[in-house]
């Protein structure tokens, strides 16, 4: 049976979408094939790389990709899930062949303030929220 292709989209493909991609591939890899991309690709957030390593997932070599390059390249996905805020999600292109488009908003780790440890703790909370949402979605589908 072919895997369901899922694209996670956020602004820079530097944090939330990368975590969601990694968790869906880890927990649902037998049924799903996840990818991620950003509206304006940036650089991986080092706090995200660190907190993902804490749970045994190394994303340090993941590239950040442009959603528009995927769109222009004819990337076909069954589901597109935006993980940024509502106003950013509205900027996402419409992908041909998409059966379902969902929005799961999560705080942006790039916006966190405080000490290094405070930023890590806030990033861990987002990581855990994303993993929980992924597991619930897998169980419901």
Selected catalytic residue, list 67, 84, 89, 126: 84
Q: Among this protein's residues, is 10 annotated catalytic?
A: yes
Q: Among this protein's residues, is 84 annotated catalytic?
A: yes
Q: pLDDT band for position 29 (50/70/90)?
A: confident
Domain boundaries, the chain: 4-140
Selected catalytic residue, list 6, 7, 19, 92: 92
What number is the average pLDDT over the span 7-11? 91
Give the C-alpha distances (Å, rounded to integers) separating 99 from 7, 10, 40, 79, 80: 12, 19, 24, 6, 9
Q: pLDDT band for position 91 (50/70/90)?
A: low
Q: pLDDT band for position 92 (50/70/90)?
A: low
Entry pTM: 0.92
The string of pLDDT tens digits covering residues 44-90 is 999 999 999 999 999 999 999 998 888 777 778 899 999 987 656 56
Q: Among this protein's residues, is 137 annotated catalytic?
A: no
Q: So what's the pLDDT on residue 86? A: 65
Cα–Cα dist 14/135, whole Å: 21
Architecture of domain 4-140: 3-Layer(aba) Sandwich (3.40)
């Amino acid at each position: 049976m072919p895997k369901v292709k899922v694209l996670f989209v956020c602004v820079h493909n530097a944090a939330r979408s990368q975590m969601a991609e990694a968790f869906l591939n880890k927990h649902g890899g037998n049924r799903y094939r996840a990818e991620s991309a950003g509206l304006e690709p940036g650089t991986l957030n080092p706090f995200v790389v660190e907190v993902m390593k804490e749970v045994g997932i190394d994303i340090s070599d993941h590239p950040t990709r442009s959603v528009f390059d995927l769109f222009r390249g004819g990337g076909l996905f069954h589901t597109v899930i935006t993980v940024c805020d509502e106003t950013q999600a509205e900027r996402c292109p419409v992908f041909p062949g998409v059966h379902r488009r969902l929005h799961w908003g999560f705080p942006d780790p790039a916006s966190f303030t405080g000490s290094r440890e405070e930023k890590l703790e806030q990033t861990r909370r987002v990581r855990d929220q994303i993993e929980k949402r992924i597991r619930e979605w897998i169980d419901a589908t």
